[in-house]
Amino acid sequence: MTTDLSDYVASREAILDQVRRILRDTMKLKIEPQAIDPDAPLFGTGLGMDSVDAVELVIQLDTVFGLQLSGSPEAFLKIRSVNTIVDAIMEMTDES
Amino acid sequence: MSREDEYRAIRHSAALSRMDHVGLLRLMGDEVMEAVDAVCSGDLWVRDSRMLQTLILDDRGQPLADVYVCPDDDACFLLVEGITSEELSALLARHVDPELDAELEDLRPDHELLSVHGPYAWEVLSKWLTPDIIGLPYLSFYRFDRGICFRAGKTGEYGYDLMLRSADAEEVRGELLELVTSLDGAEVSLEALDLCALENGFFSVRHGSVEGLTPMELQLQWRVSTRKRFPGVAAMEQRRARGIGRRLTHFVARDEVKSGDVLRGPEAPVGEVMTAAFSPGVGGVVGTALLDISVAHPGIDEFFASDRDPASPIWTVSSPMLLNRSLLVDPRRHTYATRDGETDPPLWQGSLP
Amino acid sequence: MSDAPRITGWGVASALGVGRERLRGALFRGAIGIAPILRFDTSSFTAHVGAMVTGYESDGRDATVLCHEFGSLALRDALAHARLDPESLGSLRVALTLGASLFGDQNTENLARSLAKELSIEGPAITVSTACTSSTQAIGFGADLIRGGFADLVLAGGVDVLTPALFAGFHALGVLSEGPCTPFGQQVGTTLGEGAGFLVIERGGLRDATTRALIRGYGLSGDAYHETSPEPRGRGVAAAIRSALDDAGVSETEIGYLNAHGTGTIANDAAEWCAIRSVFGSELGCSIPLSSTKGHLGHAQSAAGVLEVISTLECMGAGLAPTTAGFEGPRPGGPPRPVSAKKPEPLAYELALSSNSAFGGNNCALVFGNAGRAPLDVDEIRPVFVSTTAALCAGASNVEELASIYESNSPPSDREIRIDLAAELPRVDLRGIDRASELLTAVTSRALAEAGLKLKGEARERTGLMVGALRASPDSIERFSSSIVERGLTKPDATAFAQLLPSAAQSACAKALNIRGPQSTINIGEGSGLLACAISAWMLAQRRDSDRIVAAAVDVQTEGVAGGALGDAACALVLGTAPTSVEVVGIGVAGPDHLDEAIAQAQRRWGSAKPPELFVDRLKPLEGMPATSSSFALAHAVHSLRQGGARSAMVASKGTTASVAIILASTEVIHDN
């Protein structure tokens, strides 16, 4: 593996694990963070989150990562799976 | 009807489809949920009139069937892909206490399933059935005089599956097709639906079952209970304890890649392509690959399908990969006639290799 | 008792003025009581308007002080309207039914106690805490106190104050509109309000008083769907409306005007419109005059229902239809033509229906109308039986273990409550359930299971849940409070906010177990559980909308030790109309200082000359479980009767704001008298 790739994977996995822990705590899931699949849908099916859970998740993502998703509905669409959240965080970090 | 036209119907207006590949069954009796619980892998946290996606695993922990569990009063409807009603019946006989009050009935002989998908599918149903349909939440169902309307779908758009008596099906199909056509939609093939399912990261037991893959590799752990017993539980526990070496990951490519193509990184092989198809929305190929766990992440642009000449680069992406129109359409405010297609953001926000 | 309860007066403290004359004038002018909020800083929120009580817009005093003041103003206004001297209340059998929820960590019964004390109300003071339906239900229960002969006159209504925390919670949920709300209209979202309103309800022939309207009936239901969202097709709302029509003995075609809940949110208005069409049919649904008063008064929470009833009464008396202020055009999926003139226009109607819905899916509808119409006779009183009981506290996980605590009369050495609800209910999603909800769901589930009941089909709608609880679960309160302290008002914990009501446990339990029949959460402090049993018994006896009601109670201590503190407790009794070996033969409800009166009432209803053989007191060795201890006593009495230790038993509780007595008898001896 190239250095760039291993750095990328390492930083992605670090964020992924943090997001998983937030999801576990927000959803009061009694499982290991590893058991949350990165592509699992968050709402409706998958983890089965609802609109009230979403409010807390958005606050946590802002508090922990400084990711601002409230306001525009399109920004809110960035949270559909764990991976899309990680994408949004990495995108934000790249921009700043 | 070209694949592009079918795709446009599903992604931009409304599409009608026959769902002949889905098994329709009903369990009747006082202990139907206990019976379903005994064969399905997930926690059956499902309430009356709601639907839950779960799996049936074989003894090696590999998905045999993709199941919607739909309880309603004394019955539980099962919409099943992957196994026949006879196979399901045999599984129930093997795993369910025969004393339980639960009797399986195959509804297929005299029922059919028609489905309407698309960002304006709700408009078709609200005209055909009742305006109240817009209040039906995702993964819910309700009975009407001619059948049952399930709000489900595996395309990322609004989706409704109508279970109808066979005698009525042809007439209803005509009525729905007329409505779908009035919204510039069309009747579409299973292949078009499968492409949309792939783009939105839906598991397909008809394409995704690969020897040796459990819900852990397939990113379906949310459909597997960690607190109950079910067929395949021992294999799942073993796999959990051992960890996985590969994981399903989505990708896009500009050029053609095919199922089975070996994927390489700059230094070594990293995995292989599971499914791939051309996506009009992306303007390239979308697919799933089984990647080494160390690199099974989106956002990587260093891999290529080495069997191709020249080698075809692939970029891994997050699922779902599209910004579905249905997320932007609110049945309480919008209609197909008053839509503003000009200002809609593109379905695919990314780029291609 | 077949006479319908009479409304002889009403009073308000509202955003359209303090005093009914001011409200009336403002309503008739088409005034809107919504304005930029001055009481607290809203600059960090996206919404800035509210409907504050006139004259209190900048009043920064504590919410409990304001609650008392609003309540007192409205009560005195109502007494004046009914031509009652406040000094005379002590001499009448007067009760107070108060809708109050007080999102937060205060016990709701304190407000009822202080209001009752101020006005020398000697009778029972019952608090109903179901958020936005609190005062609507309080009117229904108030009417029942009259119909059942428990009181001669009832002051029924509700109070709420708009606090920064409440505003923050609704803001976080994203349901506040930027400008003044326009129910069913273009502006999406609601506007919060506050205020107080009370009706004077009395029996006919009590005194020389002008009857201004009659309460014809009410109906309750639960969605069993979600903490904050209504069931999208409005089935629960429709069930409450149907139950109210049935209780009133009228058909939907006789309703001349409908006052909708109409908060202005997408979810509520769409679900409610589904419900209205399902009850009235598409044609009548579109043509019946209907409106929402929230465009004028905002959403006054626990006072919303009574303020809407009073607005309707004012208009009805003047031959006018209340209007939907601010409405300028319909929204898809809503009523096409709600009444929306700039000022109320003439409309003649004899009967009105008012509907409200609350967090957790508590629905309530009221039918009331002009005095001119003679109500139908009420149905025969049905006998009520206890089928099963379940108890849970330190040292006892069933009634047999509870019995041994009674016998030893000493506290258990083991203080831990062992409970694995996920194992008991494998097909229920219990993620995020709070402590009170967990305990209540456990006992209710066990009691229903022991009764052999599977809640499927019609049984879901025919099963009720009446819960005695003093406040929200302390763990949810703590989560919400600490989120505000740590993250500020713009980022409260929304999931905790949704559980911040005394009725949160009742809603969670109903959702987990699919209980959709009549339900509520009531509070009289000590003895709340016994009152829940009494209300369940009279509802089953007098009404036809349920076959059984789980009468339950739950307490959770603030100062917890790991695994559950002494004082964490829950109890459930399944009461029903199907005969069992134990019948509820007498109930009595009276003021907190009149336990003897409650006992005398129960004895009278029993019709026996002899006193009950057994008297069960609340469980002395276990302290600090005010709602549950009296329920335990009743469960133990049922156990004792089943064991053959006695043939009749009484439990009586001198509660904080009401006394309750219940007499049980083995069915073999009932007809001996």
State the pLDDT at residue A73: 65
DSSP states of C641-660 as a string?
Answer: HHTTS-SEEEEEEE-SS-EE
CB contact under 8 A, A40 and B221: yes
Instruction: Assign C356 to helix, strand or coil.
Output: strand
Q: What are the pLDDT digits (tens) for A2-50?
A: 789 999 999 999 999 999 999 998 888 888 899 999 999 999 889 999 9
% of chain B with per-residue pLDDT over 90? 85
A26 to chain C, closest Cα gap in Å: 8
Q: Note whether B55 and B185 are same-domain residues.
A: yes
- CATH code, domain carrying B69: 3.30.1360.120
Q: Beta strand pairing status for C384-393 and C362-369?
A: unpaired
State the pLDDT at residue A1: 67
State the pLDDT at residue A78: 84
Using the predicted structure, report yes or no on whether residue B67 has a pLDDT greater than 50.
yes
% of chain C with per-residue pLDDT over 90? 85
Residue at which a domain ends, from C369, C404, C430: C369
Q: What are the pLDDT digits (tens) for C444-501?
A: 999 999 999 888 888 999 999 999 999 999 999 999 999 999 999 999 999 999 999 9
| Res. A69 pLDDT band, cuts 50 70 90 | confident
State the pLDDT at residue C108: 81
Gap between the Cα atoms of C536 and B90, Å rounded: 48
User: Helices in B202-247 by DSSP H: which ranges?
Assistant: 233-242
Which chains have at least 3 CB atom pairs separated by less than 8 Å from chain C? A, B
A63 to chain B, closest Cα gap in Å: 23
Q: Note whether C257 and C305 are same-domain residues.
A: yes
Using the predicted structure, report yes or no on whether residue C85 has a pLDDT greater than 70.
yes
Residue at which a domain ends, from C337, C369, C401: C369
Using the predicted structure, report yes or no on whether residue C672 has a pLDDT greater than 60.
no
Q: Note whether B133 and B266 are same-domain residues.
A: no
Structural domain boundaries, residue A19: 3-95
Residues in C touching B228 (Cβ below 8 Å) = 426
Question: Measured in whole angstroms, how far is the alpha carbon of residue C496 from the centre of its chain?
Answer: 21
> What is the residue-averaged pLDDT of chain B?
94
User: Minimum mean pLDDT among B167-171, C258-262, C417-421, C515-519: which range?
Assistant: C417-421
C223 to chain B, closest Cα gap in Å: 12
Asked whether residue B168 is domain-assigned, the answer is yes
Asked whether residue C605 is domain-assigned, the answer is yes
Residue B27's CB: how many other CB atoms inside 10 A?
25
Residues in B touching C277 (Cβ below 8 Å) = 132
State the pLDDT at residue C566: 63
Residues in B touching C423 (Cβ below 8 Å) = 227
Give chain C's domain count. 2
A4 to chain B, closest Cα gap in Å: 10
Q: What are the pLDDT digits (tens) for B192-205?
A: 999 999 999 999 99
Per-residue tokens: C235 = 């089935």
Residues in C touching A29 (Cβ below 8 Å) = 431
Q: Note whether C498 and C362 are same-domain residues.
A: no
Q: Is B72 left (phi over 0), alpha (psi -120 to 50) or beta?
A: beta
| Res. C238 pLDDT band, cuts 50 70 90 | very high
Per-residue tokens: A51 = 């609109």
CB contact under 8 A, C493 and A53: no
Asked whether residue B346 is domain-assigned, the answer is no
Question: Mean pLDDT throughout C291-319?
Answer: 97
Q: What are the pLDDT digits (tens) for C327-338?
A: 999 987 789 999
Structural domain boundaries, residue C181: 6-369
Q: What are the pLDDT digits (tens) for B77-98?
A: 999 999 999 999 999 999 999 9
- CATH code, domain carrying A39: 1.10.1200.10
Give chain A's domain count. 1
Q: What are the pLDDT digits (tens) for C378-429?
A: 568 899 999 999 999 988 899 999 998 888 887 777 777 888 999 999 999 9
Q: What is the largest CA-CA distance in chain B?
A: 62
Give chain B's domain count. 2
Residues in C touching A58 (Cβ below 8 Å) = none
Asked whether residue C492 is domain-assigned, the answer is yes
> Would you list which residues of chain C are within 8 Å, Cβ to Cβ, of chain A?
172-174, 226-229, 429, 431-432, 487, 491, 493-495, 498
- CATH code, domain carrying B311: 2.40.30.110
CB contact under 8 A, A87 and B298: yes
Q: What is the largest CA-CA distance in chain A?
A: 42
| Res. C372 pLDDT band, cuts 50 70 90 | low
Closest CA to C259 of C344, C194, C360: C344
Q: Note whether C318 and C427 are same-domain residues.
A: no
CB contact under 8 A, C274 and B135: yes
Q: Note whether B54 and B125 are same-domain residues.
A: yes
Question: Mean pLDDT throughout B312-316?
Answer: 95
∠C425-C426-C428 over CA atoms, to 5°?
A: 70
The complex's ipTM works out to 0.94
Residues in C touching A62 (Cβ below 8 Å) = 491
Q: Note whether B42 and B190 are same-domain residues.
A: yes
Cα pseudo-dihedral B197, A49, C445, C502, rounded to 10: -150
Q: What are the pLDDT digits (tens) for C546-594?
A: 999 999 999 998 654 444 456 799 999 999 999 999 999 999 999 999 9
Q: Note whether B249 and B159 are same-domain residues.
A: no
Asked whether residue C401 is domain-assigned, the answer is yes
For A71, name the nearest residue in chain C, comparing CA atoms only.
C46
% of chain C with per-residue pLDDT over 70? 95
A2 to chain B, closest Cα gap in Å: 7
Using the predicted structure, report yes or no on whether residue C270 has a pLDDT greater than 60.
yes
| Res. C163 pLDDT band, cuts 50 70 90 | very high
- CATH code, domain carrying C84: 3.40.47.10
Q: Note whether B160 and B60 are same-domain residues.
A: yes
State the pLDDT at residue C236: 96
| Res. B182 pLDDT band, cuts 50 70 90 | very high
State the pLDDT at residue C371: 65
C233 to chain B, closest Cα gap in Å: 6
Asked whether residue B58 is domain-assigned, the answer is yes
Q: Note whether B66 and B102 are same-domain residues.
A: yes
Asked whether residue B102 is domain-assigned, the answer is yes
CB contact under 8 A, A27 and C429: no
Rounded to the nearest 10 degrees, the angle between the axes of helix C304-317 and helix C20-29 is 70
Residues in C touching B44 (Cβ below 8 Å) = 426-427
% of chain B with per-residue pLDDT over 70? 99
Q: Note whether C333 and C412 are same-domain residues.
A: no
Q: What are the pLDDT digits (tens) for B231-249?
A: 999 999 999 999 999 999 9
Using the predicted structure, report yes or no on whether residue C115 has a pLDDT greater than 70.
yes
Q: Note whether C402 and C363 are same-domain residues.
A: no
For A25, name the nearest residue in chain C, comparing CA atoms only.
C432
User: Helices in B183-286 by DSSP H: which ranges?
Assistant: 190-199, 233-242
State the pLDDT at residue C155: 98
Question: Mean pLDDT throughout B176-185?
Answer: 97
Q: Note whether C401 and C338 are same-domain residues.
A: no
Q: Note whether B39 and B110 are same-domain residues.
A: yes
Please name the residue that has the structure tokens 């914990």: C493
CB contact under 8 A, C491 and A51: no
Q: CB under 8 Å, gap of 24 or more: what pairs does B267-272 form?
A: B267/A1, B267/A2, B269/B306, B270/B295, B270/B303, B271/B246, B271/B295, B271/B296
Using the predicted structure, report yes or no on whether residue C2 has a pLDDT greater than 60.
no
Buried b (16+ CB within 10 A) or exposed e, C616-633: bebbeebeebbbbbbbbb
Asked whether residue C306 is domain-assigned, the answer is yes
Q: Note whether C477 and C363 are same-domain residues.
A: no
Q: What are the pLDDT digits (tens) for C144-161?
A: 999 999 999 999 999 999
Residue at which a domain ends, from C311, C337, C369: C369
> What is the residue-averaged pLDDT of chain C?
93
CB contact under 8 A, C494 and A29: no
Q: Note whether B165 and B21 are same-domain residues.
A: yes
Q: Beta strand pairing status for C582-590 and C659-666?
A: antiparallel
State the pLDDT at residue C559: 58
Q: Note whether C364 and C403 are same-domain residues.
A: no
| Separation in Å, CA C41 to CA B199, C44, C167, C524 | 47, 8, 11, 35
Buried b (16+ CB within 10 A) or exposed e, C186-202: ebbbbbbbbbbbbbbbb
Q: Note whether C353 and C445 are same-domain residues.
A: no
Q: Note whether B259 and B228 are same-domain residues.
A: yes
State the pLDDT at residue B342: 67
| Res. C374 pLDDT band, cuts 50 70 90 | low
CB contact under 8 A, C332 and B37: no
User: Helices in chain B by DSSP H: which ranges?
Assistant: 3-12, 32-39, 85-95, 121-128, 166-182, 190-199, 233-242
Residue at which a domain ends, from B173, B196, B219: B196
Gap between the Cα atoms of B181 and B195, Å rounded: 21
Structural domain boundaries, residue B74: 3-196
Per-residue tokens: A45 = 């099916």
Residue to test with chain A: of C171, C431, C435, C499, most A Cβ within 10 A: C431
Asked whether residue B340 is domain-assigned, the answer is no
